[in-house]
């Protein structure tokens, strides 16, 4: 089972790749408002890449409800048990 910090580290790589950023620091509390590039269009791309990276599928209603990085981590962690 992955630890929370490992999930955040992998998510950071996905976010940097999708949002074309050299580096960033994600925390559970990071929101869309904190990252200028995280808009509704990039959110869809992020969801697709997160699903690929973690080998999971999220229902659209769940993926659309993600408002923080912590919410994404919770979704991933709940499936990796």
Q: Output the tens digit of pLDDT for each of the chain's 81 residues.
A: 789 999 999 999 999 999 999 999 999 999 999 999 999 999 999 999 999 999 999 999 999 999 999 999 999 999 976
> Cα–Cα distance between 9 and 38 in angstroms, integer?
17
Question: What CATH number does residue 60 fall under?
Answer: 1.10.1200.10
What is the tally of structural domains in the chain?
1
Domain with 51, as residue range(s), is 4-79
CB within 8 A of 79, min separation 6: which ones?
Answer: 54, 56
Identify the pLDDT of residue 2: 84
Rg (CA), the chain: 11
């Amino acid at each position: 089972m992955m630890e929370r910090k490992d999930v955040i580290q992998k998510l950071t790589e996905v976010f940097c790749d999708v949002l074309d950023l050299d580096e960033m620091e994600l925390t559970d509390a990071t929101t869309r408002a904190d990252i200028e590039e995280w808009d509704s269009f990039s959110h869809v791309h992020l969801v697709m890449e997160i699903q690929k990276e973690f080998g999971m599928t999220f229902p659209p209603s769940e993926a659309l409800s993600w408002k923080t990085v912590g919410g994404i981590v919770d979704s991933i962690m709940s499936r990796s048990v």
